[in-house]
Structure 1
Amino acid sequence: MADRRSFLSEGMVTYAYILLYIALSSGQIFFNKWVLSSKEMNFPYPLGLTLLHMVFSSVLCFLLTKVFKIMKVDEGMTLEIYSTSVIPIGAMFAMTLWLGNTAYLYISVAFAQMLKAIMPVAVFVLGVAAGLEVMSCRMLLIMSVISFGVLVASYGEMNISWIGVVYQMGGVVGEALRLIFMEILVKRKGLKLNPVSLMYYVSPCSAICLFIPWIFLEKPKMDARGTLDFHPLILTLNSLCTFALNLSVFLVITHTSALTIRVAGVVKDWVVVLVSALLFADTKLTLINLFGYGIAIAGVAAYNNHKLKKEASRGSSGDEQHAESMQLTSSSTLASEK
């Protein structure tokens, strides 16, 4: 009886972590859209917002690991690994968040989420180019299904903005390159980092990569407008939610697996698409939208299932599982979200 109660209690805790991740991930996307929207908070500076996230994450990681020592940073980092792997990861992470957040200025949250479904295609194509994936008829079919679904969803978009589409696709390419660099970091260089350690190393690098374009592109606009309407308390809360999202990813992976958070991510995507139609006036879903997105998600599910069988056949529950866990760590997933 005691064992059964312990099992039920552990299961409830696991589901609580999963629900926390879905809530934080979905909420962060809506929060970012609300902050950036000209009809809501009106902070139309995606570079500045993303830079704030990275600076906040860098400072908080330093305090947690070096000052208060609540968490531990994994060892093994060298100057050669940092310069050849961490810096490219940080640069691509900065590119992903910057372009992804900028897309919210032009397209709806729901449509942006639909376009993100093309991510496995970008990752697979770049993986083949880098020698990490092998082209096969099965994978080609799965990639075709996902691409077709995204095209149908795009065709059904009533108020399409091609500028927003370009920004979103740029963010997808940046994210795909980030995942490829992470896989190279783990598979070829053998360095294993938990999500907290990854944030500790990557966040400062991303902040530097964002600071340079921010100086030239957004700082003059922000100086001209002034800072009285920027609501520092809300922006700080937004950054804190981003950091909490990363920690929730860590909790879910620790208590379950990377596959679980993949499935939770699919649920989160549908929640974002449907709820955004209720929250934002610029979101108008059509049957073609939903039909195309459903096809794309079916392709994503087939892709995840194929990857799971591939990993099981190799018997690789160690390095590849950890690499997958690392790939799922994002900031605004976020943010911004991814």
Structure 2
Amino acid sequence: MNKLDEEQSIPLNAMPRASDMDQDLMTGPRIEVKVADARLASQPKKITIPGFVIIPIWMACSISVILYNTFVFKSLDFPYPVFLTTFHLAFSAVSTRILQRTTTLVDGAKDIEMTRDRWVRSILPIGALFSGSLILSNYAYLSLSVSFIQMLKAFNPVAILLISFAFKIQEPNARLMAIVGLISTGCVLAAYGEVHFELFGFLCQCAAIAFEASRLVMIQILLHGLKMDPIVSLHYYAPVCAVINACILPFIEGMEPFYNLHRVGLLVLLTNAGMAFALNVAAVFLISVGSGLILTLAGVLKDILLISGSVIAFGSRITALQVFGYAISLGGLVMFKTTGGK
């Protein structure tokens, strides 16, 4: 996902007139220089954050969102992932539109020609997959430990590769099959070593991984050539997902979340949703700094810190077999990211 900079057009009254041409030839390209200066002066200044600053911020936001959600689900006894996800997406839909009017962070949306046909054929199905991934992933946190879920998420690249093979986007080769074998072996060992294994949570997380991998492959197929950073993606997908979630909320959780809102309160809901949105804002700045290797290593470090944090905050237990299996998965993950998945 790359950020696109909008090029501003030169107003007609700033263009050189025919009567100015002779003067321009005699005195040099004075008019052209002035127009260029005017364009540069009117170009909105981009906010840049150094890598050594934004990487820790992104890591802190990512870890905080997961731990905060787990705190809401378990410690505050508010086990309603569909409601919480719907609130997050509605908050993001409103926030992206506020940012679009007040900042340059969502300027990439102006370079995307979003027709009704493209919306129906691309945004809607991808949004549905995104919604399913979020709901199922959050349901997994109700019965599985944070540390175990993070270990299972290492299987994401394998799911992406398998779906890419099925759609013939990529052809299998020895390197890719080695990556699949490494990550799969590591995840199997991590699952086998889990102390508190819950089949329902495990199936929810596996389904969430399948939904997320399908979403990423669908983006590659349906939105080929369109570049969306995390904020622009939220700008289009958040309203779709919020409506989908709101439609299925009565059938899954009913009115129970509204009856139990006193357990969390408005302040917790707003700060929780704000933190999730801040993670996407941080991701915009993250992708503009550092190489693929640096970002991959930052992600690995983030996962290790998150697993450690879950052990400290929630008393999650991890075994030596899980650590060994996760280490194998991380090795395969680094291979996948540093080779570009090829």
Query: In which range does the TM-score fall when normalised by the shorter chain?
Result: 0.7 to 0.9
| 1:205 paired residue among 237, 240, 244 | 240
Which residue in the other structure is 1:3 paired with? none
The answer to whether the 8 Å contact 1:47/1:98 transfers is yes
For residues 9-38 of structure 1, give each alpha carbon's deviation from its aligned partner in whole angstroms, at most 9, with x where no partner exists. xx992111001011110111111111111x
1:191 corresponds to 2:226: yes
**Is residue 164 of structure 2 the alignment partner of residue 164 of structure 1?**
no
Q: How much does 1:41 deviate?
A: 1.2
Q: How does 1:67-82 map to 2 (within 5 A)?
A: 68=102, 70=104, 71-72=106-107, 73-74=109-110, 75-82=112-119
Equivalence map 1:1-338=2 (5 Å): 13-37=50-74, 40-66=75-101, 68=102, 70=104, 71-72=106-107, 73-74=109-110, 75-187=112-224, 190-223=225-258, 225-257=259-291, 260-281=294-315, 283-307=316-340, 310=342
Give the Cα–Cα distance (whole angstroms) in 1 for the partners of residues 323 and 84 of structure 2. 30
Structure 2 letter corresponding to 1:251 = F
Unmatched runs of 5 consecutive residues or more in structure 2: 1-47
Are residues 195 and 226 of structure 1, via their aligned partners in 2, closer, same or farther at CA, if it must alter by over 3 Å?
closer
Q: Which amino acid aligns with 2:280?
A: N
Shift of 1:88: 1.5
How far apart are 1:258 and its partner, in Å?
5.3
* Alpha-carbon separation, structure 2, partners of 1:245 and 1:171: 20
Distance 1:275 1:69 in 2: 34
Question: Matched residue of 1:301: which SS?
Answer: helix
Question: Residues 249 and 258 (structure 1 numbering): CA distance in 2 closer, same or farther, change over 3 Å?
Answer: farther
| Secondary structure of the corresponding residue to residue 165 of structure 2 | helix
What is the alpha-carbon root mean square deviation over aligned residues?
1.9
1:33–1:104 contact (8 Å) kept in structure 2? yes
Shift of 1:263: 2.8
TM-superposed deviation, 1:259: 5.1
TM norm structure 2:
0.81
2-side partners of 1:77 and 1:159: how far apart? 46
AA aligned to 1:271 is L
Matched residue type, 2:278? A
Instruction: Determine the C-alpha separation between the residues in 1 that align with 2:261 and 2:137.
Output: 24
**What is the percent sequence identity of the aligned residues?**
32
Aligned residues: 293
Contact 2:184–2:329 under 8 Å retained in 1: yes
SS of equivalent residue, structure 1 residue 307: coil
Query: Does the 8 Å CA contact 1:185/1:191 hold for their aligned counterparts?
Result: no
Change (3 A) 1:182 1:110: same
Pick the structure with greater CA Rg. Answer: 2
In structure 1, list runs of 5 or more residues that go unmatched.
1-10, 311-338
Cα deviation for residue 139 of structure 1 reads: 1.1
